[in-house]
Each structure stands twice: as C-alpha cells, then as structure tokens.
Amino acid sequence: MGMVKVTGKRKVRLKDIDPNSNGGMTREEAAPALEKAKKRIAELQERLFAEHKQSLLVVLQAIDTGGKDGTIRSVFSGVNPAGVRVWSFKVPTEWEADHDILWRYHQHTPGRGMINVFNRSYFEEVLVVRVKNLVPKAIWETRYDQINQFEKILTENGTRVVKIYLHISKDEQKERLQARLDDPAKHWKFSISDLADREYWDDYQEAFEDAINRCATPEAPWLVVPANRKWYRNYVIAEALVKVLEEMDPQWPEEEPGLEHVVIPD
C-alpha cells in the first residue's frame, strides 16, 4: 500500500500501512517524475503568488528522524523563496505559553499568494503533550475539536490545508539515529533525549493515529506517506502537492490595458 489519503470518511490504522512501501514504483522511475513534479510546483507557486487570492498551508508531522527537513529540502528546492515560508516550532516561549494553544501557530499561517510549511505544528498539542502527560487528558481531549475549528476558519478564508504524516518504522528510526551518531557533521541533530523518546514509540503511534483520524476532513485531509524510502516519500509528496495546487487553479492577474502600445524609451 502506498500513500493513504484520510478525509474522515473512514478510520485508518497505522499498523496496516507498510512504512517500507514504494507504491509499486522504482527509484529509477521516481527520479524523473520527482523532477517533473518539482518544476510543476514551481510554475503553480508563481501563479499563486501573482494571483494573490489563495494560500496553501502544508503541515508536516513525524516521529523523530521521520524526514521532515529532508522532505522540505527536496520537494521545495525549485520554488521561488519569496513565495514560500518554512516555520519550525520548538518548545513554546514563556510569552507564547501565556496565550491559547493556537495563538503562535496562527501568526505564521500563509498570507494571500503564499505557501507556508509547518515543520511540526499545532498537532504537537495532542501529540507530545499527550504522550508526556504535560496537561491532563481532560484538557488535551478538547483540542481535537479546537484544531478542527481552526482549520475550518483557515479553509473558509482561502487557505488550503494539507497535513502530511511521514510514516517510518521503529527499525528505520534506529538506523537514522545511528547514522547521526556515526557522522560528526550530524551530531548537532542528535540528542540523548531521542533515545528516551523511543521508549514512548507505541504511545506516539497511538497519538498520531488519533490525531489523523479525529482531525481529517475533506477540506483539510491527512496524507499518510510511507517514508522509510526517502526517494519514494519525496516523489509521493511532490505529486500530491501538484494535485492540490492544480485543484486550487491559481490564475495570472489580468494585464494592464494598452500594453501592446507601450514603447520602452531609450
């Protein structure tokens, strides 16, 4: 089974989705298809920016080492940086924590004509907060509805929302952590706390599954992407974003009248 789109019509079980799936593709087939999709994304992004009426929010979620950074580098490498913003959310500051849970995220949603990418997002409020018991269950249970309402506000105001879960296996995570440990240039990405978090693997899988099933709608779907194979992950996500942008169908603005008579002076 390849990528699974979740719209809320039926529930998914992560254990039924093979993180090692290649969707029937080969690396050799995916490479040129990825480049073609990236060029198409760049074309549509330019139209979106020029049109200045709609926007796109791409939410990336994954377990540690899931590949969020690599996905962003690959899929968005060809776009005009003026039209794309990437936001990475860490532990909230004291100022951010003094506001409601969605306050700091709303400030970074895309304006008209923009594509914004969230590297982690408001879903952390029902993921790490839940798994680590940072707030009582009675509080985080209410947040699914709050997130759904938040996304409804965005979509009704011209922002298309696409959430992507990068689905890797526990064995794959171990290999990626070891690779970071073996490469001095990647030590900055390694934290001892990552090892402690592996003890919560099953709890995180349950939390991700609930977030996907409880916060999926036709207007703001989840895409569960098998992500053990990085080349397949990148190809699938690029193709999915092409489809979304084509559905948005941004149009070039109308040109000023009389341009055919303009003569550029010497």
The distance in angstroms from the start CA to the end CA of the chain is 62
Place of tokens 């709303």: 106
Task: Note whether 227 and 19 are within 8 A (CB).
Answer: yes
Dump pLDDT digits (tens) for 110-145.
999 999 999 999 999 999 999 999 999 999 999 999
Query: Is residue 57 predicted with pLDDT exceeding 90?
Result: yes
Pairing of strands 159-167, 222-226: parallel
CATH node for 4-248: 3.40.50.300
CB atoms within 10 A of CB 74: 19
What's the average model confidence in pLDDT over 14-24? 95
Give the pLDDT band of residue 78 (cuts 50, 70, 90). confident
CA distance 66 to 63: 5
Dump pLDDT digits (tens) for 161-207.
999 999 999 999 999 999 999 999 999 888 888 888 899 999 999 99
The pLDDT value given to residue 1: 66
Torsion of the alpha carbons at 85, 89, 95 and 98, rounded to the nearest 10: 120
Q: Is 251 left (phi over 0), alpha (psi -120 to 50) or beta?
A: beta
The pTM assigned to this predicted structure is: 0.94
Q: 86 CB contacts (<8 Å, ≥6 apart)? A: 72, 76, 116, 117, 119
Mean pLDDT of all residues in the chain?
Answer: 95
Dump pLDDT digits (tens) for 25-40.
999 999 999 999 999 9
Dump pLDDT digits (tens) for 84-101.
999 999 989 999 999 999
